[in-house]
Amino acid sequence: MTVKGMTSKEVTQRVFNKEELFILDVRNESDYKDWKIDGENFKYLNVPYFELLDGVEEVIEKIPTDKEVLVVCAKEGSSVMVAEMLSDAGLNVSYLKGGMKSWSEHLEPVKLGDLNDGGEIFQFVRIGKGCLSYMIVSHGEAALIDATRMTDTYLEFANSIGAKITRVFDTHLHADHISGGRTIAEKTGATYWLPPKDATEVTFDYQPLEDGNDITIGNTVITIHALYSPGHTIGSTSFVVDNKFLLSGDILFIDSIGRPDLAGKAEDWVGDLRETLYKRYRELSEELIVLPAHFMIIDELNNDGSVSENLGTLFAKNHGLNIEDENEFRRLVTENLPPQPNDYQKIRQTNMGKISPDMDEQREMEIGPNRCAVR
């Protein structure tokens, strides 16, 4: 019996809508424990594919008949075979098209709001990896911030709303995912901006993104203020957009703060991180809506699937912003760190232009969750 495939976009809508879904994940246990599809009302069963080669009789009783069932594997093939066996046994199941590889690469655009004089701002949620990127649009011009390597998504979206990408920014040199910024700039003729303190080893031309830059998008008073805010990397830069949004890069998240160790500089940069979070950010309006470059857990998603929170609320609720003792803060940031991202050194080298891995290798380099935050 032919089983139907469910796309990553369809699964994403179920996450956003908090719908129920039962997932049978047939990857190895270690891969499943490291990274899975998260949904507030999802239930899970992990049984490695090789345990099902002789049949699915032993797992059928563990699979509900009153819930939508999705079979998931790494690249699709194994999940199709297991879904077909379950379907032959009388269950109504689907498989994830493209597997976790597709899940890792899906970007879902969400409109965050309107800006003054007719502009709009959109957030692209990379649901499977927790990356967040942004497009600011005004009078047919668009600026792109912290783009991932799935460049076609941004280009097609800009085209669909009649906007031309004229400027591309990275808030810092990324270590957990490959930036699409330079590629998009080459395809569109846009200017690519990068903080110079993060660009000392890059092999390509860029426009230096320095403290005090004001960059107007379109014909309206939509200005990006580059706020030099080191910590996660020495060049990490925040943007205040339209006096309404604070794009915090990987410095401040909804539920945590950025880790300063991905360039091997945790001890050196922890003071910078504290100064940014406890002094520079305290000088900003608490009414600003914080838009980070990543989210950590599914609970950080708003009802529409977006990720954002008022700066004042984060000052009150984010533990990383409420550690009075500097030594305790130093311990949190230097000792309480999750594993470093897969292949993060090679990802940094790719983002510097030093190496050019092919697409399959880029996918392998990025597999797994993002690990940009202090736990």
DSSP secondary structure of 67-117? S-EEEE-SSSHHHHHHHHHHHHTT--EEEETTHHHHHHH--EEEEEEE-GG
DSSP secondary structure of 237-306? EEEEETTTEEEEETTB-SSSBB-S-TTS-HHHHHHHHHHIIIIIGGGS-TTSEEEESB--SGGG--TTS-
Please give the Cα distance from 324 to 188 (Å, whole number): 47
CB-CB contact of 119 with 32 (8 Å): no
Q: Is 73 a catalytic residue?
A: yes
Classify the C-alpha dihedral 46-48-51-55 as positive or negative.
positive
Which residue of the set 73, 301, 314, 373 is catalytic?
73
DSSP secondary structure of 154-169? HHHHHHHTT-EEEEEE
Please give the Cα distance from 106 to 180 (Å, whole number): 14
DSSP H/E element including 318: none
CB-CB contact of 27 with 49 (8 Å): yes
List, edge to edge, every strand of the sheet that includes 223-228. 214-216, 223-228, 237-241, 245-249, 289-292, 309-310
Catalytic residues: 73
